[in-house]
Structure 1
Amino acid sequence: MDWDLTLRILLALFGAASCAAAWYNIWTAKGNQKQASESRKLEEAHAMGVANKQSIENLESRMDGHEARTEKRLDQIGSDVAAVKNLFTDFLIENLRTLTRTRT
């Protein structure tokens, strides 16, 4: 009978240890799942940040290109306006000279 009682006590202890191990596994699994989820979210946020950084760098380079082209266009417009002004001034002066010569 001693062996029977000892065996029952050992089985009860083994069962209690098994239940404790199962609860521990469940608890750590939830913690690991939560940690993996947070880690995945951080990785996604990091990837998004890298993509945004690349987009910003691309936009900055495009803006620099636009600014350079705009400066060139403004310089060209300024020289064109000056040329038209000179042409118009010369046209008026020539017409006034012809008018004054024909009247005298």
Structure 2
Amino acid sequence: MKIRVQSNYDRKTDEDIFGIGIMLDGGRTYCKYPLGHQSYKTYSEAENAKNEVLQILRNGGSISYGINGSTGINKSEYVKIENSKINRNEKK
């Protein structure tokens, strides 16, 4: 799995913003976009968020897809990053 910072354009505010894209193992494109990580004002903010997401995934976190599951390995979609430690604490 690879993660990178991507430049996006916000049509509502007419400005360039930065977001995170994830390429799954075996994929060819950065097409999974974590919710809440798509509207950073500066590249450095997005880079810090990228490192945090990478740490969550390395420490047992997971990518959660919608109710219908994933659209496919190279298909664009928004995903949710779930930290397994937080989820265990919420259930108690």
TM over 0.5: no
Bigger Cα Rg: 1
Structure with greater helix share of residues = 1
The alignment's TM-score, normalised by the length of structure 2, stands at: 0.21
Higher relative contact order (CA 8 A, sep 6+): 2
The alignment's TM-score, normalised by the length of structure 1, stands at: 0.19
